[in-house]
C-alpha cells in the first residue's frame, strides 16, 4: 500500500522569475507544501509532533529534476509519496504536474534524519516514527 | 548627531519578478539587511542581544514607498537611519538608491516594540536599549 | 456595495522565523495571495489582463500594521477590500485574522499606479480599469 | 586548471527557521549567489549575456546535501566550481562552509541546459558558451 497525498497549489506572482516561469527555488516550497499536506493526511510525523517529542527531523538531502515550466495562472498538482527505507530516516518522493495539461514539471526527493535534544544524530528511530509506521501499516522489506 | 549606516547589496536573480524588476516584497529583505548592518555598526541592539536579554523587538509597523525600479545587475544602496522617539519603541527610516545613477528607488520606515519573556508588551524601555542610547549619545527632545 | 474577498491560507513552516511566528515579510505574500484571490473573484484587473493590455500596475505604497502573531499550524484568514479612489490608481485594504480564535493579526493597505509600455506613469485610467469599475458598479464620490 | 570563485554571505534573520538554523531552501539562494559571483569573475555566461543572445539556461537539476547548520550571525563561505562536461550543458559544484569554524555545511550541484527563443532545448552549445570556454581554457576530455 502506497502512502501518498495530492494537493493543488496556485503559482503566485512573487514566485515567477524574469523568464516568466516559477523560479526553480520555489519548488522547494511546493515540496514543503506537499509534505505538510501529507502530514495532515497521515498525522503523527508533523513538525508539531516532532517539537513535542523533542526530536526534530531536518532535511539532509534534496534532489530536484525539472521537466517543464510552471507559469503564472498555472496550478501545481503536487503528489507526495512516502518511501519506506530501512533505518532512522524519513524519505519522500514528489511529482509536480501542471493542472491545465497534466504535463510533468518536476520529480524530486528528500531525505530527513532525526536529531535529539542535544543536536545529536539518532541511529535508532524515535518512538513517534515507529508508532506512525505501525499505525499506517508500513512494511519495510 | 545622526546614527546611520549605508550598505550596498547586489540585486539577485531570484528577486526579479516577471516585470523585470525587484519584486516589491524584496525590499522588506533589503531593509532587514540595512537594519542588521546598522546593528553591526552600533552594537547592542541586534537580535542576539535581544535573545540574551530575553526581550525581543518584533516589527509592528512597516511603510514602504516605491519611486523607481531596481533591475538585474543593479546594486541597491541602502541607508538606514535611527529615528529617536519618546518611549519604549525602536524606529528606523530607510532610503534605497540605485548605485548606477543614484536614482531614488524607495523610502521606508519601521517601528519595533519590545515584548518580554511572557510575550507581554513592555511599556518601559529595556535596560539594553537605555544603555545603547546612552553609549551612542541619543538625545530625545 | 463593498467589493471584497476572503481566503484562508495555512501558514508554512518556511515562513516561521526564529521567534516562532510568521516572519513580518511573509505578510506581503499573504496580501498578494489576497489580491490574486480578489482578482479571480472580480475578473478583469489581474496581472494577465494587465499584460494583455500592455499596462501594468506596480505597487508604489505598502503599509502594514501588525497586531498579533501567526504561528505554525495557524490558518491566516485574509480579507481583501477594494477601496475606490479618484484618479488613475488602484487601492486595496487588507485585514488578516487567525482562524483559531479570530484574533486580529494585521491591517494593511497597498496603492498601485499604472505604467504604459514606455514605462511612463499614466495620468488617466486605462480602459480595462474603467470597464472593470463599470461592470462592478464602482461609484466614486 | 579549476575555474572557481569564493564569496562570503552573512546569514539573514529572515532565512532562519523555527529550529534556529538557516532554512534548507535558503541554500538554493546561496548557490545562486555563488553562481552570480562566479559569473562576475569569469564574465560571458551571466544571465544578461544569455538574454542578449536570446538563449537562456534554466536549471534542470539541483542536488543538495546538508552536513551542518548555519545559524544567525554565521557567515556562509560559498565555493562555486565549474564542472566541465561534454555537450550542451553547464554544470556547477558548490561547497558551503561556516566561516567561524570552517565546518562543512553543504555540498551541492546544479545542471543547466540551453533553450532557444522558441523555448526549444538546444542540442548544440550556443556560441557564447563556446567562446567562454575557449577564453577560459576549458578542456573537456
What pLDDT is attached to residue A141? 65
Instruction: Tell whether the model's pLDDT for residue D1 goes beyond 80.
Output: no
As a whole number of angstroms, the distance between CA B133 and CA B128 comes to 9
Report the residue from A12, A28, A72 with minimal CB separation from C29: A12
- Per-residue pLDDT, C141: 65
How many beta-carbon pairs below 8 A join chains B and C?
A: 52
What mean pLDDT comes out for the span D70-84? Answer: 95
List chains adjacent to chain D, taking adjacency as at least 3 C-beta pairs closer than 8 Å: A, B, C
Residue range C88-103: mean pLDDT, rounded: 97
Q: Is A17's CB within 8 Å of B13's CB?
A: yes
Query: B34 pLDDT band (50/70/90 cuts)?
Result: very high
**pLDDT digits over A105-141, tens only?**
999 999 999 999 998 999 999 999 999 999 999 987 6
pLDDT tens digit string along B5-27? 999 999 998 999 988 999 999 99
- Structure confidence at residue B125 (pLDDT): 94
Is the pLDDT reported for residue C1 higher than 90? no
Is residue B70's pLDDT more than 90?
Answer: yes
What is the sign of the dihedral through the CA atoms of A118, A119, A120 and A123? positive
Q: Look at residue A139 in the predicted model and tell me its pLDDT.
A: 82
Count of other CB atoms within 10 angstroms of residue B16: 25
pLDDT category at B111 given cuts 50, 70, 90 is very high
How high is the pLDDT of residue A47?
83
Average pLDDT over residues D83-100: 96
List chain C residues with CB under 8 Å of B15: none
Assess whether pLDDT exceeds 70 at residue D141: no
What does the buried/exposed string (b/e) look like for B101-114 if buried means 16 or more CB atoms within 10 Å of the residue's CB? eeeebbebbbbbbb
Query: Residue B141 has what pLDDT?
Result: 65
D75-83 vs C104-113, strand pairing mode = unpaired
Residues of B in contact with A17 (CB under 8 A): 13-14, 16-18
Residue range B119-141: average pLDDT? 91
Please, which pLDDT band fits residue D76 given cuts at 50, 70 and 90? very high
Q: What average pLDDT does this structure show over B64-78?
A: 95
Q: Are D14 and B32 an interchain contact pair (Cβ–Cβ within 8 Å)?
A: yes
Q: Give the whole-number percent of chain D exceeding pLDDT 90.
A: 81
Q: To which H or E segment does residue C127 belong?
A: helix C127-135
In chain D, what residues touch B14 (CB-CB under 8 Å)?
A: 28-29, 32
**In this predicted model, what pLDDT tens digit does every residue of B77-96 receive, in sequence order?**
999 999 999 999 999 999 99
* Mean pLDDT, residues B28-51 taken together: 92
Average pLDDT score over residue span D74-93: 96
Domain ranges of chain D: 4-135
Predicted confidence (pLDDT) per residue in A23-63, tens digit: 999 999 999 999 999 999 999 998 888 888 999 999 999 99
Residue B108 has pLDDT above 90, yes or no: yes
Nearest alpha-carbon partner for B19 in C53, C47, C63, D36: C47
> What is the pTM for the complete model shown?
0.90
Q: Check residue A57 and give its pLDDT.
A: 94
**Contacts of residue C72 in chain D, CB cutoff 8 Å?**
18
Per-residue pLDDT reduced to its tens digit, C33-66: 999 999 999 999 988 889 889 999 999 999 999 9
Q: Which of A7, A26, A36 would best serve as a mutation to test chain C binding (most C beta carbons within 10 A)?
A: A36
Across the interface, of A10, A36, A73, the residue whose CB is closest to C48 is A73
Predicted local distance difference test score (pLDDT) of residue C72: 86
Strand partners, A34: none
**Domain spanning A4-132: which superfamily?**
Hotdog Thioesterase (3.10.129.10)
ipTM: 0.94
Using the structure block, give the residue that is written with the C-alpha cell 487567525: C98
Judged by CB atoms closer than 8 Å, whether chains meet at B36 and D13 is answered as yes
Region of A119 (left: φ > 0; alpha: ψ -120 to 50; beta: rest) is left
The Cα–Cα gap between D117 and A19 comes to 11
In chain C, DSSP assigns E strands to: 4-10, 59-66, 75-83, 89-98, 104-113
Confidence of residue C119 (pLDDT cuts 50, 70, 90): confident
Residue B47 binned pLDDT confidence (cut-offs 50, 70, 90)? confident
In chain A the first and final C-alpha atoms are separated, in Å, by 13
| Facing B72 at nearest CB: one of D47, D72, D73 | D47
Q: Say yes or no: domain D4-135 is CATH 3.10.129.10.
A: yes
From chain A, the residues in CB contact with C100 under 8 A are none
CA angle C1-C6-C8, nearest 5°?
A: 175
Amino acid at each position: 500500500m502506497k502512502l501518498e497525498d495530492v494537493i493543488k497549489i496556485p503559482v503566485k506572482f512573487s514566485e515567477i522569475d524574469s523568464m516568466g516561469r516559477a523560479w526553480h527555488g520555489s519548488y522547494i516550497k511546493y515540496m514543503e507544501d506537499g509534505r505538510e499536506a501529507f502530514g495532515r493526511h497521515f498525522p503523527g510525523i508533523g513538525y508539531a509532533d516532532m517539537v513535542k517529542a523533542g526530536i526534530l527531523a531536518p532535511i539532509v538531502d534534496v534532489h530536484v529534476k525539472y521537466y517543464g515550466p510552471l507559469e503564472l495562472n498555472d496550478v501545481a498538482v503536487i503528489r507526495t509519496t512516502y518511501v519506506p527505507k530501512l533505518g532512522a530516516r524519513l524519505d519522500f518522493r514528489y511529482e509536480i504536474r501542471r493542472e491545465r495539461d497534466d504535463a510533468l514539471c518536476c520529480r524530486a526527493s528528500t531525505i530527513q534524519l532525526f536529531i535529539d535534544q542535544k543536536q545529536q544524530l539518532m541511529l535508532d528511530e524515535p518512538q513517534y516514527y515507529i508508532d506512525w509506521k505501525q499505525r499506517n501499516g508500513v512494511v519495510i522489506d
